[in-house]
């Protein structure tokens, strides 16, 4: 148990941040999962592109709020784009 006033405040602040970060991460995971399912279901559908756009937007927001590292978000966005490209049957060498 914390003894000093500053340690007690630290516990309160960390609890708030933990809850906020968890909510943001959960939202990101939800949108990324929706995008992946949309790619699997029908990569040519317009809603698939919209789902990917929303997932990327949520990843960017998480970076802005300091929940995710920018490289982590960039990697996840890249992987989503790559999944879509593979699902559409596009090749890199043309």
pLDDT tens, position by position, 4-18: 999 999 999 999 999
pLDDT level of residue 84 (50, 70, 90 thresholds): very high
Give 2-71 as a DSSP string: --SHHHHHHHHHHHHHHHHHHHHHHHHHHHHHHHHHHHHH-TTSHHHHHHHHHHHHHHHHHHHTTSS-HH
Take residue 10 and report the two structure tokens written for it.
């630290």
What's the CATH architecture for 14-86?
A: Up-down Bundle (1.20)
Domain range list for the chain? 14-86
Is residue 90 very low, low, confident or very high in pLDDT (cuts 50, 70, 90)?
A: confident
pLDDT at 24 over 70: yes
Confidence of residue 89 (pLDDT cuts 50, 70, 90): confident
């Amino acid at each position: 148990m914390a003894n000093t006033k500053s340690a007690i405040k630290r516990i309160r602040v960390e609890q708030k941040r933990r809850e906020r970060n968890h909510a943001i991460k959960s939202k990101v995971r939800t949108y990324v999962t929706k995008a992946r399912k949309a790619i699997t279901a029908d990569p040519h559908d317009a809603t698939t592109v919209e789902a990917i756009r929303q997932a990327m937007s949520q990843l960017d927001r998480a970076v802005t709020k300091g929940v995710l590292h920018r490289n982590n978000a960039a990697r996840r966005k890249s992987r989503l784009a790559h999944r879509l490209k593979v699902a559409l049957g596009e090749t890199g060498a043309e």
